[in-house]
Structure 1
Amino acid sequence: MKKTTQFLMMAVAFLFTTVIMAQSTVTGTLIDAELNAPLPGANIVEKGTTNGTTSDFDGKFSLKTENRSGQIVVSYVGYAPVTLSFNGNSNVGSIKLVSDNSLDEIVIVGSGVIDLAEGRKTPIAVSTIKAIQIQEKTGTSDLPEILKSTPSVQSVQKGGFGEGQLFLRGFDQTNTAFLLNGQPINGVEDGKMYWSNWSGVLDVAKAVQVQRGLGSSKLAISSVGGTVNIVTKTIDKKEGGFVQQMIGNDNYTKTTASYSTGLMESGWAFTALLGHWQGEGYADHTDGQGQTYFLSLGYKPNENNIFNFMVTGAPQWHAASGYNTLKTYLEKGRRYNFAYTGVNSPNNISGGFYPTGRNVYHKPVANLSWDLTINDKSSLSTVLYASLGRGGFGSTMSSSGVPTYVRGSNNNHNWYGLVANYNNQLTENLSLNAGADVRLYNGIHFRGVNEFLSISSLNSSSDYNGGSYVITKTYGGLNPWGLLFNPNNDHAQRIHGYYDYEEKINYTGVFGQLEYTKDQFSAFFQGSASTQSHFRTEYGEAQNKGQAEDSDKINNTGFNAKAGAAYNINDNNIVFVNAGYYSRQPYHSDLFINDRSSNQLNPFVEGNQKITGFEAGYKLLGDKVSANINLYHTTWDNKIDYSSRDTDSDGLADEFTKTSPLKQVHMGAELEIFTRPVDKLNINGFLSIGNWEYRGNITSRTTDDTGAVIAEGDISYIDGVKVGEAAQFTAGISADYEFLPRLKLGANWNQYDNLYGAADFGSAEFKTENNRGSIKLPSYDTVDAGLSYKMLLGKNDQNSLQFRVNVNNVFGEVYIENSRDNIHVDSGDVAWKGVNVKNGVWFGYGRTWNVSMRYNF
């Protein structure tokens, strides 16, 4: 009996030991290959078993296997799976996952000039929208709508296709820098952004990163509110493509197709994408139509060199949406749009109603990139780019109530540039980044005839070269392709008496960054300096009679400096601080009194604008919960407003009024939370609390053209007045759940409050110390929802068919998204939700929807 007991005990011990010996632990970190960022929530399964785990918010995982050796399979929705072998306890290191959606396995070319936050150890306030999210949520909307569920971002749609605006930390688009693969794309003359010119950018976007505040960009750019980096596809590693069809509300339809050869054995790769869209628009008579094209030719001769040539464009036209008073919308509905002439044009390319105004533009962008790996410590990235913009705004002109012709206000340009960046890992702890930014810009602005309606020629109302003339030709008409290849370069066929001028703006900048990292500590310093020249040629002044007149050449310099530090308390907790100062040159539009009629300089431009920013942040990286907290304080100072008046109608200003000093202070706090409470369920949220105000009172001084003071001391009491047009409180919750394999339902709720109208400081409202400040608009909230399903097809499930349904503003919330006026409610006035109905406003869209089907091969 004793021997039997001993035998059984030895057998149990042997079996137990065998089980223990058969097990092992595999650890590693999952990384997004394109953005070099941790990938939380990925699935890691021991092959041939149901044993698995998921990566935490730092991308890390630990899996206790059932077998001593074997394979693990790493998978994540939207990424290609990876299979790895293990033998015993092992750390497989960093595993890079690449996308397997429409933007298959992209190599980021020109990565050295694309300032993504992940390229630096010291953190910033940042949110990144990946390709799979862009693909799912993009419908009929432009980029600002895709970003509305990120902290301190507000999107204002304003009616027509491509007319939306983005506000970041309360600053408009002229104070937010937009970059396309590292190339600045804000308007050179005034910093503005027109999303109608970039309507196809989401079709080719790999990722969009919103860097709030100081950001990580090293260029001397207008990033007061922040920087938005748009990264497009370039070279695809694998052969494949997709075909997609989308339909939406108001007869919207969009067809897109893409194909890539993949990176061939010869080292060459080619990718092409073509698309067409058209629709009637949500607001009345705001139909539009456009195309998207994207061509990329890459060459990788060896591991040290990657070349890529890319050209992309989005030619489009869309009817404009005018603003209305609140009273008009309440009477006629929020879709009402008066911008319609009441007639059809015989040559109208839409074949329907003719609007009072139509935007027509074609802005192809081409760039040539070269990534050179010099050695294991240094590299050089260079991007040459060019943009040829052609188009403008067509306004219908009438005589005795009969439309006669379409007058085109053309804004053409030729823009060339270079961005180069050299990176060197100087020591184990210190890295250097340095480069140059060159921009050469020629703007061409004039009015001409885009289309004849009831007449066949136009007698000019002013002289040209000493005599009257007749306009008989149209150039490009209302077709964006025609405008590109047939612009009006004949001054004798332009409408003088309005404007006809060109400007040349040349910019040269240098930048650099040092970053030090050791153990848990990191710190950086960035600096840039730039010089900018402005030169203007006037053709259209009546007194010139068509002869060119050149302005004086204006040169100005600017710089910025940023520094920051971070400390990793442990693997899950990071704190950081950043500070920066910008000395920003005035825009070209600030330098001239009236850039549409003369070369007359603005006498009130005194030095650069001054922007000071401070930020602090905390990052929590946990297994189930991750969070970012950011605090910021931004001061925008030395902003000058001015006006001019021509008192004797000679085409030159005689009186100038300067308003100064104008100072804005924006401060606030932001919170982002990401959770994965159970497998296949994501619940995220954000909260932004801002306090954006004007500081100090402003005074006005009026002088004549000799500088003699006509009036002085007119005070506007604006201290403490709220900055309007964007909500100072935003919050949101989003969730998505894969309740069946590849069948996912998601929704997001957004709340907006503390939204104010635009303040007109010249109005009587601000001439008294007891003014009531900016009007407050009603708070509102919206709910969006989406459902997607992916069906696997073909051998080894390598092809797929995807279905997606999106419904925006599910409950049809009626809300004012913006007000251009600041009219308070007085006794006897009519109000709606506390807003005087005399205010000119924009209503947000009601319920909209889109459905898409996409075949990936």
Structure 2
Amino acid sequence: MRKIYFTMVAFFIAAVAFSQGTITGTVIDGEINEPLPGASVVVQGTTVGTSTDFDGKFTIEVPQSTGTLVISYIGYTPKSIPFSSTGSLPQIVLEPNADELDGVVVVGTGIIDLARDRETPIAVSSIGAKQIQEKIGTQDITMTLVNTPSVYVAGQSSGYGDSRMSVRGFGQDNTAFLLNGQPINGMEDGLMYWSNWSGMADIANGIQIQRGLGSSKLAISSVGGTVNFVTKATDKKEGGFAYYGMANDSYYKGTLGYNTGMNENGFGASVMLSHWQGNGYNDGTEGYGQNYFISLGYSPNDRHNFNFLITGAPQYHDQNFSKRISTYLEYGRKYNNNNGYLGDEFISERGNYYHKPVANLNWDFNINDKSQLSSVLYASWGRGGSVGPVGSSVRTDDGYVNWSAIIANNEASADGSATYALRNSVNNHAWYGLVTNYKLELTDNLDWNVGFDLRSYKGTHFRQIHDLLGADYFQDNGHIRYPSGNQISATFKANPWSALGGFADESERYAWDYDERINYGGMFTQLEYAVENFSAFMQGSLSSQSHIRWDRYQYTEANEESEKISNGGYNIKGGASYKISEAHTIYANTGYYSRQPYHDNIYLNFTNDVNPLTENEKIFGLEAGYGLRLNNFSANLNLYRTSWEDRVVTSSTTDDVTGQEIFTSNFGVKQLHSGLEIDAKGRINQLMLRGFLSIGNWEYSGDARTLVRDEDRNILSEETEDVDGGKVGDAAQFTFGLGADYQILENLSADADYRFYDNLYADVGAIKENLELPSFGILDLGATYNIPIAGANNLSLRFNVNNALHKIYISELTSANLPTAGEETYDGLAVSNFAYFGLGRTWNLSLRYSF
């Protein structure tokens, strides 16, 4: 018996020993055909794993002679490699998922329209989840795009969430932004308010920017470009993460996320919650907020996939406005006079609060091998607004708000009315929409897409009192329905959570009170042809839009409804790409848009009067490019020319006497934007290098009618002027960047990015002689240390230093005054100009545990 026992043990030991063996291989970066160091290699179903060395090579002892290796690297699409014997494997190629962003999304595959390198003939850049997580820090999501050609981000000095971005010199109202295929530009004016999307960095799996007309199938007018935000969905694997970050000016953020994984019945859930707060870089720009994300997925079979998602980012932040350069020189670059102290309590008279829950239901239906249907039904409910003063302020000698004196004045008021109060300018909305796309494979090489884009939007805008500051009521004498005046005593907090339902009734509103309804319907279609070395597409869309306005403040009840305005638009675009060889590809595209004017440009001066000057804006674009792919290097060259006629340009500045914002609008403007873009990257062993260059010439053409209003919408001046040859402002027309990632050790890497900006002009709308700002360069540094833990767990430590050299520069100019005789100048600019200084050196440190 003992012999039998020892014989069996010896047999099993021999079997185990025989089944074990060594596998070797090399992992390659599929984009530039170079070794990929630090890639993870794990035997599926076990904890046995290793990493590739600096030459992309690996050696792994496998516990059995057959199985599967899973090779992965953050920012790349994982690959499973079966093995049935030991020895050397063929070369393993991982493709960057920055160019295959929908590979990480389980829903909306037909709606989320992403371009694939030069297979789609457009200028495109992609940002993966790894780069977003590592580099975003305390910044707005817009800052993830600054290392791409022809992108300029401004507005950071205003406060958390107040940034804005331009693409090829076109502002946010002329760049299309999509969230999982859902349009998110404001329906009234096309603008984006990033404070409403402060949680985007937490939920984004990737971002792709298509510069120029783009390839999006939607009936949208992406003049500057199209930015696709691809969010997390219900993860198919169980796991989660915990994150904690801290930064300059007492900033901190905590985030928790968990995925149940998809169970055997096809159900799964992903949940994420976060909280952040900080004092802000400039004085008086404190902020706080939360972010929530809930995604529920259901895949009953291979043909159907459903996902319900709801997310929101309630936030509040104090704000900073532009000031004269002379004021900054006197009080410092961080000076902000929109605030003051009442005893030990800090109070700001300028701020923003908002809560915008967004929900969408996605359905992907694989009808058969030849056809698919993808749809997203969505809704958003925006609630909140801005905080500001009304009445006569009292200031201290150094310009701050004297709250004690203001309260004393209100309490001493003979009739109890407020001489000064704080108000909320409320901007509520409800937005519902449906986007659906049907794809049919006509032949092996020809696909046809057709779909609809339907939206219904209702906005409500009014002012309400936030704080009476010791007074009994606020006297409003402008409401037409209260000819004897209206005494308002109700007050409402500037709180993003209570704003969901806590706002003034119609009898408690002042200054303005109106609704608007915008209905939009669009149909789009596309044909796409692709063979091995050639691809081409042709797209077209038709859209119809209607507008109506109800004004309860300026009109009697019988006359409150405006004339209904309906207008149509269309676009057509197409392009082709040809692969000359494996190394060389060329492309070209063109398109024409006839775009309806925005709602705010249809009705004159925020009344029910219809503006007779508005007409469809005409956009014509041409683009051509070249792509180079070598063993250790890749590069793209893009040339473009875009003409835009009958557009409206609006800019703003602050009056240093009254403290009010002044708005300048230009009608009938024509712009010509042309330029060149280059982006490139290559790898030398463990060093990855990248760079970009963009050279633009963006000018106004012809005449423009200029209208100047104050923040209460009163007309201050109106004139027609020659703007021919005037430079387009608010975005640098020359940008240059260099970046590097270096794998110091197996788990330690460092990176650096340098950007240089030149030919940046003042943001003053359309004028003939614009003022150029001094050029500047910024260096950002970062380092990452990963600590692998048992299984798939990982602990990552990240440190960033932005503007590491502490470059002092002016990022925006909102006036264009030339120096008068004897006037002091700063870096060549008259100190009477209104400006924002850019942020100096900032830092952030984060710890992320993934399990």
- TM, length-normalised to structure 2: 0.85
Answer yes or no: is the 8 Å Cα contact 2:816–2:833 preserved in 1: yes
Distance in 2 (CA, whole Å) between partners of 1:283 and 1:93 is: 50
Q: Which residue of 1 aligns with 2:816?
A: 822
1:164 is aligned to 2:177: no
Q: State the AA in 2 paired with 1:473.
A: A
Q: Which residue of 2 aligns with 1:471?
A: 488
Q: What are the Cα deviations for residues 528-548 of structure 1, in whole angstroms up to 9, with x where unaligned?
A: 11000001011001x52x666
Answer yes or no: is the 8 Å Cα contact 2:33–2:630 preserved in 1: no
1:602 is aligned to 2:611: yes
1:661 Cα deviation from its structure 2 partner? 4.4
Distance in 2 (CA, whole Å) between partners of 1:548 and 1:673 is: 60
1:277 Cα deviation from its structure 2 partner? 0.6
Q: Which residue of 2 aligns with 1:787?
A: 783
Q: Which residue of 2 aligns with 1:418?
A: 434
Q: Which residue of 2 aligns with 1:802?
A: 796
Distance in 2 (CA, whole Å) between partners of 1:85 and 1:487 is: 65
Answer yes or no: is the 8 Å Cα contact 1:44–1:72 preserved in 2: no
Distance in 2 (CA, whole Å) between partners of 1:162 and 1:295 is: 22
SS at match of 1:303: coil
Distance in 1 (CA, whole Å) between partners of 2:35 and 2:634 is: 10
Distance in 2 (CA, whole Å) between partners of 1:227 and 1:328 is: 38
Answer yes or no: is the 8 Å Cα contact 1:105–1:237 preserved in 2: no
Q: What are the Cα deviations for residues 817-856 of structure 1, in whole angstroms up to 9, with x where unaligned?
A: 1111111234422211111111101110000011111111
1:390 Cα deviation from its structure 2 partner? 0.6
SS at match of 2:805: coil
Q: Which residue of 2 aligns with 1:734?
A: 739
Distance in 1 (CA, whole Å) between partners of 2:22 and 2:238 is: 39
Answer yes or no: is the 8 Å Cα contact 2:584–2:629 preserved in 1: yes
Answer yes or no: is the 8 Å Cα contact 2:75–2:128 preserved in 1: no
Answer yes or no: is the 8 Å Cα contact 1:30–1:55 preserved in 2: no
Distance in 2 (CA, whole Å) between partners of 1:532 and 1:40 is: 52
Q: What are the Cα deviations for residues 737-790 of structure 1, in whole angstroms up to 9, with x where unaligned?
A: 11112111111111011111134557xxx5xxxxxx211110000101111111
1:526 is aligned to 2:539: yes
Q: Which residue of 2 aligns with 1:684?
A: 690
Q: Which residue of 1 aligns with 2:724?
A: 719
1:699 Cα deviation from its structure 2 partner? 6.8
Answer yes or no: is the 8 Å Cα contact 2:292–2:312 preserved in 1: yes
Answer yes or no: is the 8 Å Cα contact 1:504–1:536 preserved in 2: yes
Q: Which residue of 2 aligns with 1:626?
A: 634
Answer yes or no: is the 8 Å Cα contact 1:144–1:154 preserved in 2: no
SS at match of 2:684: coil
Evaluate the alpha carbon distance shift between residue 300 and residue 93 of structure 1 in structure 2; reply closer, same or farther with a 3 A threshold: farther
1:341 Cα deviation from its structure 2 partner? 4.2
Q: What are the Cα deviations for residues 448-502 of structure 1, in whole angstroms up to 9, with x where unaligned?
A: 1223432343343345455544323234x111000013233x211112xx21100
Evaluate the alpha carbon distance shift between residue 833 and residue 226 of structure 1 in structure 2; reply closer, same or farther with a 3 A threshold: same
Q: State the AA in 2 paired with 1:243.
A: A
Match of 2:148 among 136, 145, 150: 150
Q: What are the Cα deviations for residues 583-606 of structure 1, in whole angstroms up to 9, with x where unaligned?
A: 0100001101111xx21111211x
1:573 Cα deviation from its structure 2 partner? 1.5
Distance in 2 (CA, whole Å) between partners of 1:28 and 1:193 is: 41
SS at match of 2:157: coil
SS at match of 1:331: helix
Q: Which residue of 2 aligns with 1:74?
A: 71
Q: Which residue of 2 aligns with 1:455?
A: 471
Evaluate the alpha carbon distance shift between residue 97 and residue 304 of structure 1 in structure 2; reply closer, same or farther with a 3 A threshold: farther
1:405 Cα deviation from its structure 2 partner? 3.2
Evaluate the alpha carbon distance shift between residue 701 and residue 70 of structure 1 in structure 2; reply closer, same or farther with a 3 A threshold: closer
Q: Which residue of 1 aligns with 2:594?
A: 583
1:563 is aligned to 2:574: yes
Answer yes or no: is the 8 Å Cα contact 1:736–1:746 preserved in 2: yes
Q: State the AA in 2 paired with 1:825.
A: P
Q: State the AA in 2 paired with 1:735.
A: A
1:592 is aligned to 2:603: yes
Q: State the AA in 1 paired with 2:525.
A: G
Q: Which residue of 1 aligns with 2:414?
A: none
1:750 is aligned to 2:755: yes
1:186 Cα deviation from its structure 2 partner? 0.7
1:93 Cα deviation from its structure 2 partner? 9.5
The equivalences for 1:147-296 within 5 A come to 147-156=145-154, 157-296=156-295
Q: State the AA in 1 paired with 2:693.
A: L
The equivalences for 1:615-654 within 5 A come to 615-640=623-648
1:298 Cα deviation from its structure 2 partner? 0.6
SS at match of 1:111: coil
1:159 Cα deviation from its structure 2 partner? 2.6
Answer yes or no: is the 8 Å Cα contact 2:666–2:766 preserved in 1: no
1:438 Cα deviation from its structure 2 partner? 0.4
1:378 Cα deviation from its structure 2 partner? 0.8
Evaluate the alpha carbon distance shift between residue 809 and residue 297 of structure 1 in structure 2; reply closer, same or farther with a 3 A threshold: same
SS at match of 1:776: coil
Q: Which residue of 2 aligns with 1:831?
A: 825
Q: State the AA in 2 paired with 1:560.
A: N
Q: Which residue of 1 aligns with 2:845?
A: 851
SS at match of 1:427: coil
Distance in 1 (CA, whole Å) between partners of 2:225 and 2:263 is: 39
Q: State the AA in 2 paired with 1:636.
A: W
Evaluate the alpha carbon distance shift between residue 71 and residue 556 of structure 1 in structure 2; reply closer, same or farther with a 3 A threshold: closer
SS at match of 2:328: helix
Match of 2:671 among 661, 664, 669: 664
Q: Which residue of 2 aligns with 1:512?
A: 525
Q: Which residue of 1 aligns with 2:120?
A: 122
1:50 Cα deviation from its structure 2 partner? 11
The higher-RCO structure (CA 8 Å, 6+ apart) is: 2
Answer yes or no: is the 8 Å Cα contact 1:694–1:723 preserved in 2: yes
SS at match of 1:676: strand
SS at match of 2:196: helix
Evaluate the alpha carbon distance shift between residue 439 and residue 357 of structure 1 in structure 2; reply closer, same or farther with a 3 A threshold: same
1:564 Cα deviation from its structure 2 partner? 0.3
The equivalences for 1:535-550 within 5 A come to 535-541=548-554, 544=556, 549-550=560-561
- TM, length-normalised to structure 1: 0.84
Q: Compute the RMSD of aligned alpha carbons.
A: 3.5
Answer yes or no: is the 8 Å Cα contact 2:118–2:577 preserved in 1: no
Distance in 2 (CA, whole Å) between partners of 1:483 and 1:550 is: 27
Answer yes or no: is the 8 Å Cα contact 1:44–1:54 preserved in 2: no
Distance in 2 (CA, whole Å) between partners of 1:674 and 1:526 is: 31
Evaluate the alpha carbon distance shift between residue 821 and residue 55 of structure 1 in structure 2; reply closer, same or farther with a 3 A threshold: farther
Q: Which residue of 2 aligns with 1:776?
A: 772
1:323 is aligned to 2:322: yes
Evaluate the alpha carbon distance shift between residue 382 and residue 160 of structure 1 in structure 2; reply closer, same or farther with a 3 A threshold: same
Answer yes or no: is the 8 Å Cα contact 2:754–2:780 preserved in 1: yes
Distance in 1 (CA, whole Å) between partners of 2:818 and 2:454 is: 47
Residue ranges of structure 1 left out of the alignment (5+ in a row): 1-21, 345-350, 644-656, 703-710, 767-772
1:405 is aligned to 2:399: no
Evaluate the alpha carbon distance shift between residue 515 and residue 62 of structure 1 in structure 2; reply closer, same or farther with a 3 A threshold: farther
SS at match of 1:791: strand
Evaluate the alpha carbon distance shift between residue 592 and residue 324 of structure 1 in structure 2; reply closer, same or farther with a 3 A threshold: same
Answer yes or no: is the 8 Å Cα contact 2:762–2:813 preserved in 1: yes
The worse-fitting range, judged by mean Cα deviation, of 261-270 and 69-78 is 69-78
1:305 is aligned to 2:301: no
